[in-house]
Homo-oligomer: A and B are copies of this chain.
Amino acid sequence: MKRYLIASLMLMAFAGSICLAQTDQPEIKDDFKPSTLNQPGQEYPQVNSQGYARFRIIAPEAKSVKVTLGLGGPRGGTELTRAADSSWVGTTAVPLDKGFHYYHLIIDGGIFNDPGTLNFYGSTRWESGIEVPAPDQDFYALKDVPHGKVEQVLFPSKSTDTIRRAFVYTPPGYDKDQSARYPVLYLQHGWGEDETAWTNQGRANLIMDNLIAEGKIKPFIIVMTYGMTNEIKFGGLRNFDIKPFQTVLVDELIPYIDSHFRTLPDRLHRAMAGLSMGGMETKMITLANLDKFAYIGLFSGGTFSMEDVNKTPGFKEEVKLAFVSFGSRELGGNRPSFFGGDPKANADSLKAAGINCVFFVSPETAHEFLSWRRSLHEFAQLLFRD
């Protein structure tokens, strides 16, 4: 009887551990492949079909190697362990969200990049990047369709006494018909990022190429420049002064673009959008310059409330599109109030007032680039319809 009891308990314990494994630690499929953002020839990091990421770092004499992704550690992150061959290996304890993620290594207390991957400018440093395949990744894939160009321009800025850089997406065919003129979208990165973000992390050029190839949009130009956001600490946001960047964008860059590219240089053919802090900049600059912009997009960067409408002369008449988006994981809890009220309720109130306000939620993503790739994909299809 006693032996039977022990056997039963063992069975329960075994069953329990199976149950636990299924709930907290599902079986990790052994179908890992190198991340598509790896440097040429690099096997690691890898991602499997469930979204788990696996890392392998060579540092034979290190005391500790940690990856700032996943939830294995006390403050997040994945501690790697030394393998028999002196490499450091580890797999995230949970699957990562789909899409692009920044990360870095912490080696013996210092911050370094994973030598296996390409780097992307975020958090005011060039970070490592990893890509988890998403079910809808086709819309930002490099495909055999006509491709536009991404042009680096260096433009003079008297207000800052600098020569500044912008990247300009010109659609396929731009060089063919020399009489065609195009609308322009000014597209801003977030805090910690720069003018490289929207093409490198965001794949804005590929999203456009694919939309144009599918006939879903008429071609337009996208201009991306540095939003001068990264000198500002989050705590100092209340004292944020939009003027210096507004001067560069409105008084210097727009005239430069209109004189160096075949644009349609009027408000009905000019849009502005931005992600996160770039959304905040977009809102401030467009509402102060409705004579220059008719289409506005805020991606994880605030909402439009009726208070905004009422205190902005001409909002109802001039704004052809007020687009607001978030990743689903950004919503709920106390978050919406931080962004100026419940964004869905705000959007509904604008719609009720007859304003073309569109609210979009990216499924199962957070404050990360897949939310913003999807936002651009939606936003682009709503632009320049008037």
Number of residues from A at the complex interface, CB < 8 A: 44
Interface of A is mostly: loop
Q: When chains A and B are docked, how far (Å) is the Cα of A40 from the Cα of B124?
A: 7
Shortest CB distance A62–B (Å) = 4
A144 / chain B contacts, CB cutoff of 8 Å: 156, 163
Q: Give, as a whole number of angstroms, the nearest-CB distance from A115 to chain B.
A: 6
CB contacts under 8 Å to B, within A219-260, are 230, 260
A166-183, CB under 8 A of B: which get 1 and which 0?
Answer: 000000000100100000
Q: List, in ascending order, chain B residues with CB within 8 A of A63's CB.
A: 61-63, 108
Report how far A216 CA is from B62 CA in the complex, Å: 54
Q: What 0/1 pattern do residues 24 to 55 of A give for CB contact below 8 A with B? A: 00000000000000011100000000000000
User: Across the interface, do A261 and B154 meet the contact criterion of CB distance under 8 Å?
Assistant: no
Q: Please tell me which stretch of A8-16, A68-76, A145-153, A333-341 contacts chain B, meaning at least 4 of its Cβ atoms lie within 8 angstroms of it.
A: A145-153
| Residues in chain B near residue A163, CB distance under 8 A | 142-144, 147
Shortest Cβ distance from residue A224 to the other chain B in the assembled complex, whole angstroms: 13
Q: Identify the closest chain B residue to A61 (Cβ).
A: B108
B260 x A126 contact (CB < 8 A):
no
Partner of A124, one of B41, B58, B152, B175: B41
| Residue from B58, B111, B151, B260 within 8 A of A110 (CB atoms) | B58
In the assembled complex, the CB of A241 is this many whole angstroms from the nearest CB of chain B, namely 19
Residues of B within 8 A of A156 (CB): 144
Min distance, Cβ A143 to any Cβ of chain B, angstroms: 8
Q: Kindly provide the distance from the CB of A40 to the nearest chain B CB, expressed in whole angstroms.
A: 6
Question: A300 CB to closest chain B CB, in angstroms?
Answer: 23
A91: interface (CB < 8 Å): no
> B residues within 8 A CB of A64?
61
Q: Which residue of B lies closest to A87 (CB)?
A: B110
Q: How far, in angstroms, from A153 to B113 measured CA to CA in the complex?
A: 28
**CB-nearest residue of chain B to A42:** B125
Given A60-B108, A62-B107, A261-B175; A150-B147 close (CB under 8 Å): no
Report how far A100 CA is from B109 CA in the complex, Å: 30
Chain B residue at smallest Cβ distance from A104: B115
**A110-B59 in contact given A149-B152, A150-B152, A151-B150 (Cβ < 8 Å):** yes
Indicate whether A331 reaches chain B with its CB closer than 8 angstroms. Answer: no
Kindly state the separation between the CA atoms of A167 and B156 in the bound complex, as whole angstroms.
22
A154 to B149, CA, bound (A): 7
Q: Are A151 and B149 in contact (CB under 8 A)?
A: yes
> What are 14 A-to-B residue pairs whose CB atoms are below 8 Å?
A40-B230, A41-B124, A58-B111, A59-B112, A60-B109, A62-B109, A86-B109, A107-B108, A112-B115, A142-B154, A143-B163, A147-B155, A150-B152, A175-B261
